[in-house]
Amino acid sequence: MKIAWIGTGIMGAPMCGHLMAGGHSATVFTRTRSKAQALLEAGATWADSPGAAAADADAVFTIVGYPADVEQVYFAADGILARAKSGAVLVDMTTSSPDLAERIAVAAEERGLGSVDAPVSGGDVGAREARLAIMCGGSEAAFNRVKPLLDLMGKTVELMGPAGAGQHTKMANQILIAGTMIGVVESLVYSEKAGLDLNHVIDVIGSGAAGSWSINNLGRRIAQGDFDPGFMVRHFVKDMGIALREAKRLGIALPGLALVEQFYEAAIAQGLADRGTHALFHVIRSMNGA
């Protein structure tokens, strides 16, 4: 298939690479062209705008930063919805708001296009190793057309319901990650203060009831002093904000998420916005005089 790919950051570049390795041709656009260089060297074609990238594509993939970026690449005068050819399927893999996914679906249908909201979980490692969990919302017809492509990027690919259902599922994922992460960093701050070897602790507790992806993967990075982003703090704060707004709209209280969001806001205040989500360790550590 001819694909368009918009957004070649930490996640997007390897994901697009898997599609190209699967034999699909790619036209790419990203705001910083140098971030697409490896894909261009592998045979991708450069486009000067999201609309230009989408113009001849059978499937258009986007994974950008914020809902405002999604709005821009889809709804701009020369954006994806204006330029995509009839019959193409639009797949937004950004973690964004469910109502925006619904708006894209309505606009796509009006133009004879399919659409799927398909946010992912698994971080940079999952993106590189094609082991992502991909949570989809949209029609069965649109989902079935792009599922072979999604299977090249993910280990678990599921249709969760109509437009917006993928984003709602990702919010459930982020709520759980937020609660898990505060537990991971508090556990390791405690272990450090008690004079324990962090890797040894992770070996033991990561194999028992406390085991999780976060302790066994991000906990290792903390132990190694590696706070490079698999997923940036500032993007996680964006996700928590979406989840809290959706919770308010649904009439439910999520006090644990609200508390963790405050700790992550403190991380931004400490200059950690572009570090990995496990940099929350520094916030809890600093609260304890370390």
Q: Where are the beta strands (DSSP E) in the chain?
A: 2-6, 25-29, 45-46, 59-62, 89-92, 114-117, 120-121, 132-138, 154-161
Pairing of strands 59-62, 89-92: parallel
Is 155 tagged catalytic? no
Q: Are 184 and 246 in contact (CB under 8 A)?
A: no
Q: Are 161 and 137 in contact (CB under 8 A)?
A: yes
Burial (CB count <10 Å: 0-12, 13-18, 19+), residue 125:
middle
Please give the Cα distance from 71 to 75 (Å, whole number): 6
Q: Which of 147, 170, 193, 248 is catalytic?
A: 170
Place of tokens 């931004």: 268
Please give the Cα distance from 26 to 32 (Å, whole number): 17
Return the structure tokens found at 255: 């006090």
Pairing of strands 2-6, 59-62: parallel
CA-nearest of 148, 154, 122 to 10 is 122
Residues forming the active site: 170
